[in-house]
Amino acid sequence: MNRTSRRFKGLSQGPEYFHCVSRVVDRRMVLKTDEKEEFIRIMRIYEAFYGVRILSYCIMTNHFHLLLEVPKRPAAENLPSDDALVGKVSAALGDVAGRGLREELKHFRKNGMTDAAEALRERYFARMWDVSSYMQVVKQRFTQWYNRSRKRKRKGTLWEDRFRSVLVAGEGDALKTMAAYIDLNPVRAGIV
């Protein structure tokens, strides 16, 4: 978990907002049009699964910025049902993973193994509504896609370090100011 998110996790009553940044190794200019489109696709898939909301983003050729809203984990009675969780897993991880989860939950419920079913659900819920888990999976999945490309045939990490994040105040103009900073990144770089 990122130091910023760990330090402040759970202090606010509402959602938390984070400005997240990550750079490509050696600041190489590798994020071209196709790469940016795939990054956005992956970002959006996991946005739904993790329950975060992307408020603003900018993908440059060697780094990206995201402004994320990370809601609090719902109370136990408001967590997704088994069917809703299976739907989220299917959308993010594929139908095979969704069917596997559905069958495992059905088996546990049918055999009165409520604790096992809840422990299985908790393995998924533990990653949701968490900025660090979201950023980790987006960067990992994009790196896997990028490295598998026939034209690249590369191995290893694509990113310099862990992502950096700054907790942004949710009241006042702080979110607007941060969104403007992110949106104006290409202007400051002289691209537009």
- On whether both 21 and 65 belong to a single domain, the answer is yes
pLDDT score of 81 more than 50: yes
Instruction: Quickly state the pLDDT bin for 39 (edges 50, 70, 90).
Output: very high
Total domains in the chain come to: 2
Phi-psi region of 25 (alpha: psi -120 to 50; beta: other; left: phi over 0): beta
Give a yes or no: residue 77 inside a domain.
Answer: no
Model pTM score: 0.86
Domain membership flag for residue 183: yes
105 and 45 in a common domain: no
Residue 189: pLDDT over 90: no
Nearest residue to 159 (alpha-carbon basis) of 7, 13, 26? 26
Residue 53 in any domain: the answer is yes
- Whether 155 maps to a domain, the answer reads yes
- Cα distance between residue 138 and residue 136, in whole Å: 6
Indicate if 30 and 107 belong to the same structural domain: no
What is the Rg, in whole angstroms, of the alpha carbon atoms belonging to the chain? Answer: 18
Whether residue 140 is found in the same domain as residue 118: no
Give the Cα separation of 181 and 58 in Å (integer).
Answer: 10
Q: What is the dihedral of CA 36, 37, 40, 42, to 10 degrees?
A: -110
Tell me the CB-side half-sphere exposure of residue 185, using CA atoms within 13 A. 17
pLDDT of the residue at 72: 94
**107 pLDDT above the threshold of 90:** yes
CATH of the domain at 18: 3.30.70.1290
Paired strand residues for 167:
18
Out of 86-90, 139-143, 173-177, which region has the weakest mean confidence (pLDDT)?
Answer: 173-177
Report percent pLDDT > 90 for the chain. Answer: 77
Q: Per residue in 110-156, pLDDT tens?
A: 999 999 999 999 999 999 999 999 999 999 999 999 999 867 778 88
59 and 137 within one domain: yes
| Structural domain contains residue 46 | yes
What does the pLDDT look like over 64-80, one tens digit per residue?
999 999 999 999 999 99
Which residue in 57, 25, 48, 30 sits closest to 156, CA to CA? 25
Domain holding 102, by residue range, is 83-125
What per-residue confidence (pLDDT) applies to 153?
76
* Domain contains 78: no
Q: Are 160 and 7 in contact (CB under 8 A)?
A: no
* Together in a domain, 45 and 137: yes
Torsional class of 112: left (φ above 0), alpha (ψ -120 to 50), beta (otherwise): left
